[in-house]
Homo-oligomer: A and B are copies of this chain.
C-alpha cells in the first residue's frame, strides 16, 4: 500500500474534493479524511486493475503484482478498500454516494474487460464504460466535497455533472493523445491502443466512417495479429476518414459542457477559480 501511494501522482481527485468543499464554503479540514478516502479508493482500483490488465508498469515503476506477487496485490488492494471506507465513514450521506459510485467503477472495469472479448462495441457502449470506469470517481470526489460543505442537492448534482463531463473529456483526450500525441510529451508509445486493438471511441468511430465509405483499412489492420499491424497506416486512416477531427470536436464539446456545469453552480464567481484551473490542467492547457 505504501509503495503505490508513494509513487508520484497528481492527486487530482482528493484535491477536487477539497476544492468542492471550499467552493461551497465548507471546512476543508473536515473534508481531509474523505479526500484521502477518495485517493485510497483510486489507488485500490489501480492496484487491482494492474493485475487484471497484466500491466508491468505504473507511473514508471514496477506494479505491485510484479514487484511482489499477485496475491500481495490482491490482498493489499482489499485492505486499501477497507481503509478507504474508514476514511469515508464519518458522514453517512457521503458514504452512501461513495458506495454507489464505487460499484459503478467495478462495473466499468467489468465492461472494459468484456469489451476486449467482444467483436463489436458501439460508441455509446464505450462512452458508458469510461463514464463508469473513469468519470464517476471524479464526480464522486466533487460531490463528496460538496456534501461535506453542506451544499444542497441541486448543487451536489451540478458539481457532480461537471466532474463527470470533465472525466469523460479527460479519458477521450487520453485516447486521442495515444494516437495523435507527441510521444516525447505523453511518455507513451504512439498508437499503443491501436496496436492492442483497444476499442476506443476514436477507433469505433473510425470503423463506422470507414464502413460508410466502403473502405476497410482499419478493419483489415485489426484482422492482423497485433505485432504485424501498421500503426502509422491506421493513424493516417483515422485522419483521412475525419475521425481525428470528430474526436477533437467531441472532446471540446464535453469540455464546454463541463465548464458550463461549473458556471451554473450557484456561488460567487471568484470561488470557482481553483476548479477552473484544475479543469484547465486536466484539459492539457494552462488557465
Contacts and interface: CB of A to CB of B under 8 A. Distances in A.
A125 interface: no
A99 interface: yes
A85 B106 contact: no
Contacts of A52: 71, 74-75
Classify chain A's interface size: 20 to 34
Interface string A92-126: 10011001001100110110010000000000000
Nearest to A81: B81
A230 to B, nearest CB: 30
Given A48-B78, A92-B89, A96-B89, A83 B103 contact: yes
Contacts of A99: 82, 85-86, 89
B51 A109 contact: no
A169 to B, nearest CB: 26
> Chain copies in the assembly?
2
Contacts of A79: 103, 106-107
Nearest to A80: B106
Contact of A71 (B44, B82, B89, B113): B113
Nearest to A53: B71
A225 to B, nearest CB: 22
Nearest to A41: B82
Contacts of A103: 79, 82-83
B106 A78 contact: yes
Contacts of A83: 103
Contacts of A82: 81, 99, 102-103, 106
Given A52-B75, A82-B102, 16 more contacts: A44-B78, A48-B75, A48-B78, A70-B70, A74-B74, A75-B106, A78-B78, A79-B106, A82-B99, A82-B103, A85-B95, A85-B99, A89-B96, A90-B92, A92-B92, A95-B95
